[in-house]
Amino acid sequence: MEIYTEIEINSASDKVWEILTNLHDYLNWNPFLIKADGEIKEGSKINIVAQPPGLKSMAFSPTIIKAEQNRELRWKGKFILPGIFDGDHIFMIEELGGKGVRFIQKEFYSGLLIPLLGTKLENSTRKGFEFMNQAIKKRAESPNLYVAKSQ
C-alpha cells in the first residue's frame, strides 16, 4: 500500500529542509508527527510520535536510511517484528526552477496487518500527511520565521 501527497511551497529548499530535519521543533508546528527526537544521519534511529486524525497516537523508532541535504529524507520503521507492519517514509524536496519547491511526502506500507488496517490507515494517514504539508508550507513561507539549526 502506498500513500502519496505533495504541495508546492514558495520557499527555498534549504529552509524547508531545516524545518523538516529539526525534529525537536516538531511539537511547535507539526500536527501529524507531534513529537520527534534523534539525529538525522543515515543509520541512526529516531523516535517519532505520530497522531493520525481519528486514530490513537503511535510511537515508533524508525531508522534513517537516506538523508540527502535539501533533497530527501527517508526512514524505515517496523511494528513489533519485521513483516508485521512495516513502513518506508519518504520526504522529497524538488526545486521548481526558482519558483519554490514541491514537497512530497509518501509512505509504502507492507506486512501482515495491512489487510486489517488498510482503508482506515490510508484515510487517516493521508489526512495527517496533508495537515503536515500545510503546516510546513505555512512555516516555510513565513517571512519572519527564525529556523533554529537542527541538532
Q: According to DSSP H, which parts of the chain are helical?
A: 13-21, 26-29, 114-141
pLDDT in tens, 35-67: 999 999 999 999 999 998 988 898 889 999 999
Decide if 60 contacts 84 (C-beta within 8 A): no
Q: In Å, how far are 21, 104, 140 from 91, measured between CA atoms?
A: 10, 6, 15
- Say if residue 8's pLDDT is above 50: yes
Can you give the pTM of this predicted structure? 0.89
Here the cell at position 46 is 529516531
The residue extents of the domains of the chain are 2-141
Kind and range of the H or E run holding 29: helix 26-29
The CATH superfamily label for domain 2-141 reads: START domain (3.30.530.20)
HSE on the CB side for 93, CA within 13 Å?
A: 26
Q: What is the pLDDT of residue 150?
A: 47
Which among 73, 136, 77 is positioned nearest to 111, based on CA atoms?
77
Decide if 103 contacts 92 (C-beta within 8 A): yes
Q: What is the pLDDT of residue 1?
A: 84
pLDDT in tens, 80-135: 666 767 889 999 999 998 889 999 999 987 777 666 666 767 788 899 999 999 99
